[in-house]
């Protein structure tokens, strides 16, 4: 696993572990909320035969409760030293709080150049990872969007009816 797939999976692992730790106060609490993972890839102007990928992970629901942004960014950057990451949060505080308005409480964006084959393989890895998460945490919902040179593919993981 490398590039975009590594970054997305590591960020999601971090968020879910953080999220799970926040719910341990109520031992029977289930993780619930929604994450949107979007990858947009265009032909790279800097590297021939590569795609410039911009990946965005944003949340809706209560996933961001108690997340300290500076700590999160520092830990994520230490996990993913090759990627440049920009983290933004709609909260004016340094923490994100539970979102009751369904406004996106945070968003992380990172960029990487990859070969098309690596991106395709990476997307399959991400899909498998999301499927595994939804099996264990069935109240989490993921929208996974990939747009390569203008062609969009969307997959939704998780079922609202459960």
pLDDT digits (tens, 9 = 90+) for 121-150: 999 999 999 999 998 888 788 999 999 989
How sure is the predictor about 107, in pLDDT bands with cuts at 50, 70 and 90?
A: confident
How sure is the predictor about 115, in pLDDT bands with cuts at 50, 70 and 90?
A: very high
Q: CA 121 to CA 156: how far, in whole Å?
A: 18
How sure is the predictor about 120, in pLDDT bands with cuts at 50, 70 and 90?
A: very high
Q: CA 4 to CA 7: how far, in whole Å?
A: 5
Domain total in the chain:
1
In this structure, is residue 92 part of a structural domain? yes
97, pLDDT greater than 70: no
In this structure, is residue 26 part of a structural domain? no
In this structure, is residue 162 part of a structural domain? no
Q: Which domain holds residue 12?
A: 3-21+34-157
In this structure, is residue 27 part of a structural domain? no
């Amino acid at each position: 696993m490398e590039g975009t797939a590594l970054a997305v999976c590591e960020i999601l692992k971090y968020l879910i572990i953080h999220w799970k730790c926040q719910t341990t106060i109520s031992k029977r609490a289930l993780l619930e909320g929604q994450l949107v993972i979007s990858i947009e890839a265009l032909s790279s102007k800097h590297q021939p035969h590569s795609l410039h990928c911009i990946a965005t992970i944003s949340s809706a629901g209560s996933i961001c409760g108690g997340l300290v942004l500076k700590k999160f960014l520092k830990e994520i950057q230490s996990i993913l030293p090759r990627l440049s990451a920009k983290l933004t949060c709609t909260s004016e505080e340094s923490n994100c709080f539970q979102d009751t308005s369904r406004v996106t409480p945070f968003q992380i964006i990172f960029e990487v150049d990859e070969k098309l084959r690596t991106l395709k393989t990476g997307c399959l890895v991400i899909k498998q990872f999301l499927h595994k998460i939804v099996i264990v945490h069935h109240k989490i919902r993921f929208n996974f969007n990939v747009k390569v040179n203008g062609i969009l593919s969307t997959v939704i993981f998780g079922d609202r009816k459960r």
